[in-house]
């Protein structure tokens, strides 16, 4: 997914829409030095510890542009969207502590936005009309790299393009195994695991997190030494916004060669795409860990996109001996540095390394997303049906498939909250887009839900697994039972075991230890399993 840049027209539309759903506060906190409100008011509480220029109340002139600045999915620029009463844009961990403490004191929940890809928009909207504020980490984006120690600290508001760029300036032969898209936000991505083209070599982003700084539900700052084993385990893959606000992450950086090779091989159905895809399923997870070949399938085409940690001379004998049908030759090789491959893969051959610092793009789209995991190859007949019947339907979208195996598959299911390890052939991300203000959504949403139903016999079962960073509210949402003020564990299991399998119970028990009142909650946050 790419970042959405807001036009003047869409900003105006957003400001109109913001008047619905939640309570309206007319004070412009961005400009008011002394808000004209009672001392007990939530905004007054914030203003006592946070500069007024970093506070935006609903109805203020700048609120709309700040809110919409990192909304990627235009489905949630809607009159049906429940938006926050306030936006806090901290520049220091103390500001985050103030926001949490004030929220607890005045019964205003906090949601957290790191400014990346949020498929269901849960970091800035609510499906329940309750008063809430968001802590937007847009101003907390520092990246500090220690090339000698091969470590980095990165704040949660950074995008991974900024992280990659900072690493490359320190050393051209160090890397970090996070996502493909430079505009992914660090905070949410690492919280859910995080993987990209280095997953087979180095595993998940969260597998390579060494330490964190977290503001917990009591407003206290915790780190690896103070938080305990369960808490650290939970924030390294247990999904964002459930356990507190992760302010920054200490990362293990990994060595890569000075030259890597990228291949991009589009194949049409009439060029044997189905046969290639059928073979790829079993073959790609068995490649040496230095080679990753993923597939993007849509319409009548499959694009085989590969990253090899080495030169073309080393790649060619490997791929021609293991996968000769793909037809890779020297003309398909694109040699470059690792950081250049980030720009090349996502932005194209003419992109520069500095382009990965761009936090916005011109793409404006509405979208719906789902995911699956595959342990047994689909038959050629099934792929024929997918191309013939499903990719020709109105609203049809795309399947992006990432092969597992090698390093990502080595840890045990319970070693981290991310359970999709041994035996996984590949992950599927289903995407459907539609464009234009007021564009009809019925066909693409029907397509992705019907196609997901069609795929049920061919993917994991009991539970049917999904990737938490491809958040999907179709899987279920939290419920607060009558007479309670915490999310129901029973309701949470419906969706939670799809993301986390047996690890969901440990996550819920950890939640009960660190946030028993369920202060940090959204439609798919971990519920507390209270004794």
| Residue 517, SS3 per DSSP | coil
Q: Which of the listed residues 90, 118, 134 is the one where a domain comes to its end? A: 134
> Contact at 8 Å (CB) between 371 and 467?
yes
Per the structure, the complete domain to which residue 190 belongs is given by 141-253
Are 315 and 212 contained in the same domain?
no
> Contact at 8 Å (CB) between 494 and 487?
no
d(CA 140, CA 188) in angstroms, rounded, equals 14
Q: 3-class secondary structure for 489-511?
A: HHHHHHHHHHHHCCHHHHHHHHH
pLDDT above 60 for 442: yes
Confidence at residue 292, expressed as pLDDT on a 0 to 100 scale:
98
Are 263 and 235 contained in the same domain?
no
Tell me how crowded residue 344 is: count the other CB atoms within 10 A of its CB.
20
Are 323 and 436 contained in the same domain?
yes
pLDDT (average), residues 351-366: 86
Name, in order, each residue with C-beta under 8 angstroms of 188's C-beta and a sequence gap of 6 or more. 114, 116, 117, 118, 123, 240, 469
* Bond prior to 460 in cis (omega within 30° of 0): no
Q: 3-class secondary structure for 197-244?
A: CCHHHHCCCHHHEEEEEEECCCCCEECHHHHCHHHHHHHCCCCCCCCC
Whether 511 maps to a domain, the answer reads no
d(CA 209, CA 213) in angstroms, rounded, equals 11
Confidence at residue 59, expressed as pLDDT on a 0 to 100 scale:
86
Confidence at residue 441, expressed as pLDDT on a 0 to 100 scale:
82
E strand or H helix that includes residue 13: helix 8-17
Q: What is the CATH number of the domain that holds 70?
A: 3.30.43.10
167 pairs with which residues across the strands? none
CA nearest to 81, candidates 89, 71, 93, 91: 71
Are 246 and 166 contained in the same domain?
yes
> Contact at 8 Å (CB) between 245 and 214?
yes
Q: How confident is the model at residue 21 (pLDDT cuts 50, 70, 90)?
A: very low
pLDDT above 50 for 17: no
Residue that wins the pLDDT comparison between 483 and 163: 163
Confidence at residue 362, expressed as pLDDT on a 0 to 100 scale:
56
Whether 27 maps to a domain, the answer reads no
480 φ, ψ to 5°?
Answer: -105, 115
pLDDT above 60 for 316: yes
Are 307 and 247 contained in the same domain?
no
Q: How confident is the model at residue 454 (pLDDT cuts 50, 70, 90)?
A: very high
> Contact at 8 Å (CB) between 123 and 81?
no
> Contact at 8 Å (CB) between 356 and 182?
yes
Confidence at residue 365, expressed as pLDDT on a 0 to 100 scale:
86
Q: Which of the listed residues 104, 134, 164 is the one where a domain comes to its end? A: 134
d(CA 250, CA 380) in angstroms, rounded, equals 44
d(CA 467, CA 371) in angstroms, rounded, equals 6
Whether 479 maps to a domain, the answer reads no
E strand or H helix that includes residue 432: strand 426-434
The separation between the first and the last C-alpha atoms of the chain, rounded to the nearest angstrom, is 41
* Size of the chain, expressed as the number of residues it contains: 531
Q: Which of the listed residues 81, 99, 134 is the one where a domain comes to its end? A: 134
- Lookup: tokens for 326: 């793909």
Are 313 and 444 contained in the same domain?
yes
Please give the biggest Cα pair distance in the chain: 74
Q: 3-class secondary structure for 322-362?
A: HCHHHCCCHHHCEEECHHHHHHHHHHCCCCCHHHHHCCCCC
Lowest mean per-residue pLDDT among 36-45, 220-229, 246-255, 340-349:
36-45
pLDDT (average), residues 344-355: 95
Are 290 and 404 contained in the same domain?
yes
d(CA 55, CA 47) in angstroms, rounded, equals 8
Q: How confident is the model at residue 23 (pLDDT cuts 50, 70, 90)?
A: very low
Whether 523 maps to a domain, the answer reads no
Confidence at residue 240, expressed as pLDDT on a 0 to 100 scale:
86
Whether 320 maps to a domain, the answer reads yes
pLDDT above 60 for 35: no
What's 52's DSSP letter?
G
Question: Domain total for the chain?
Answer: 3
pLDDT above 90 for 304: yes
What's 287's DSSP letter?
S
The dihedral built from the CA positions of residue 350, 353, 354 and 355, taken in this order, carries a sign that is: positive
pLDDT above 80 for 25: no
> Contact at 8 Å (CB) between 222 and 213?
yes
Are 163 and 220 contained in the same domain?
yes
pLDDT (average), residues 207-218: 98
Confidence at residue 363, expressed as pLDDT on a 0 to 100 scale:
65
Lowest mean per-residue pLDDT among 27-36, 122-131, 132-141, 190-199:
27-36
Whether 501 maps to a domain, the answer reads no
d(CA 194, CA 206) in angstroms, rounded, equals 7
Q: How confident is the model at residue 435 (pLDDT cuts 50, 70, 90)?
A: confident
Q: How confident is the model at residue 115 (pLDDT cuts 50, 70, 90)?
A: confident
Q: What is the CATH number of the domain that holds 315?
A: 3.40.462.20
Residue that wins the pLDDT comparison between 38 and 20: 38
Are 128 and 152 contained in the same domain?
no
Q: What is the CATH number of the domain that holds 197?
A: 3.30.465.10
Residue 457 CB-half CA count within 13 A: 4
Letter string b/e over residues 120-147, b meaning 16 or more CB atoms within 10 A of that residue's CB: bbbbbbbbeeebbbbbbbbebbebebee
| Residue 84, SS3 per DSSP | coil
CA 466 to chain centre: 13
**pLDDT (tens digit per residue) in 369-424:** 999 999 999 999 999 999 999 999 999 999 999 999 999 999 999 999 999 999 99
Whether 344 maps to a domain, the answer reads no
Q: What percentage of the chain has pLDDT greater than the value 90? A: 83
Are 264 and 397 contained in the same domain?
yes
Are 304 and 423 contained in the same domain?
yes
Are 425 and 310 contained in the same domain?
yes
Whether 396 maps to a domain, the answer reads yes
Confidence at residue 40, expressed as pLDDT on a 0 to 100 scale:
55
d(CA 50, CA 43) in angstroms, rounded, equals 10
pLDDT (average), residues 497-509: 98
**pLDDT (tens digit per residue) in 477-496:** 999 988 889 999 999 999 99
d(CA 168, CA 185) in angstroms, rounded, equals 18
pLDDT above 70 for 28: no
Confidence at residue 37, expressed as pLDDT on a 0 to 100 scale:
38
209 pairs with which residues across the strands? 251
Q: How confident is the model at residue 531 (pLDDT cuts 50, 70, 90)?
A: confident
d(CA 157, CA 273) in angstroms, rounded, equals 40
pLDDT (average), residues 52-78: 91
Averaged pLDDT of the chain: 91
């Amino acid at each position: 997914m790419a970042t959405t840049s807001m036009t003047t027209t869409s900003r105006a539309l957003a400001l109109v829409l913001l008047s619905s759903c939640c309570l309206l506060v007319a004070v412009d906190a961005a400009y008011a030095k002394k808000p004209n409100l009672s001392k007990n008011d939530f905004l007054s509480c914030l203003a006592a510890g946070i500069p007024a220029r970093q506070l935006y109340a609903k109805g203020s002139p700048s609120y709309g542009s700040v809110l919409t600045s990192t909304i990627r999915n235009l489905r949630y620029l809607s009159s049906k969207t429940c938006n926050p009463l306030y936006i806090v844009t901290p520049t220091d961990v103390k500001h985050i502590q103030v926001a949490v403490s004030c929220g607890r004191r005045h019964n205003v929940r906090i949601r957290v936005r790191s400014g990346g890809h949020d498929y269901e928009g849960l970091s800035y909207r609510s499906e329940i009309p309750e008063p809430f504020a968001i802590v937007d980490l847009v101003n907390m984006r520092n990246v500090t790299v220690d090339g000698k120690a091969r470590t980095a600290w990165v704040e949660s508001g950074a995008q991974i393009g900024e992280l990659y760029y900072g690493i490359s300036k320190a050393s051209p032969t160090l890397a970090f195994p996070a996502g493909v898209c430079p505009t992914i936000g660090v905070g949410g991505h690492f919280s859910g695991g995080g993987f990209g083209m280095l997953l087979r070599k180095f595993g998940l982003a969260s597998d390579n997190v060494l330490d964190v700084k977290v503001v917990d539900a009591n407003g206290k700052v915790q780190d690896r030494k103070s938080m305990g084993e369960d808490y650290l385990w939970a924030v390294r893959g247990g999904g964002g916004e459930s356990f507190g606000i992760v302010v920054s992450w200490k990362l293990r950086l990994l060595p890569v060669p000075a030259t890597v090779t990228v291949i991009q091989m589009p194949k049409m159905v009439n060029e044997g795409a189905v046969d290639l895809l059928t073979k790829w399923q079993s073959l790609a997870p068995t490649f040496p860990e230095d080679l990753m070949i993923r597939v993007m399938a849509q319409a009548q085409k499959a694009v085989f996109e590969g990253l090899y940690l080495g030169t073309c001379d080393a790649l060619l004998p490997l791929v021609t001996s293991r996968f000769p049908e793909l037809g890779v030759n020297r003309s398909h090789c694109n040699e470059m540095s690792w950081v250049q491959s980030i720009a090349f893969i996502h932005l194209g051959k003419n992109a520069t390394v500095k382009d990965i610092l761009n936090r916005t793009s011109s793409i404006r789209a509405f979208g719906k997303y789902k995911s699956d995991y595959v342990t047994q190859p689909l038959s050629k007949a099934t792929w024929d049906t997918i191309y013939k019947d499903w990719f020709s339907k109105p609203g049809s979208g795309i399947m992006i498939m990432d092969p597992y195996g090698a390093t990502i598959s080595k840890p045990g299911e319970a070693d981290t909250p991310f359970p999709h390890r041994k035996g996984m052939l590949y992950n599927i991300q289903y995407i459907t887009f539609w464009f234009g203000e007021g564009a009809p959504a019925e066909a693409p949403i029907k397509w992705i839900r019907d196609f997901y139903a069609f795929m049920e016999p061919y993917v994991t079962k009991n539970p049917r697994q999904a990737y938490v960073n491809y958040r999907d509210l179709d899987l279920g949402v939290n419920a607060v039972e009558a007479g309670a003020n915490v999310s129901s564990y029973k309701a949470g299991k419906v969706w939670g075991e799809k993301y986390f399998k047996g690890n969901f119970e440990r996550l819920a028990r950890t939640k009960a230890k660190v946030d028993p009142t369920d202060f940090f909650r959204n439609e798919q946050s971990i519920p507390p399993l209270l004794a």
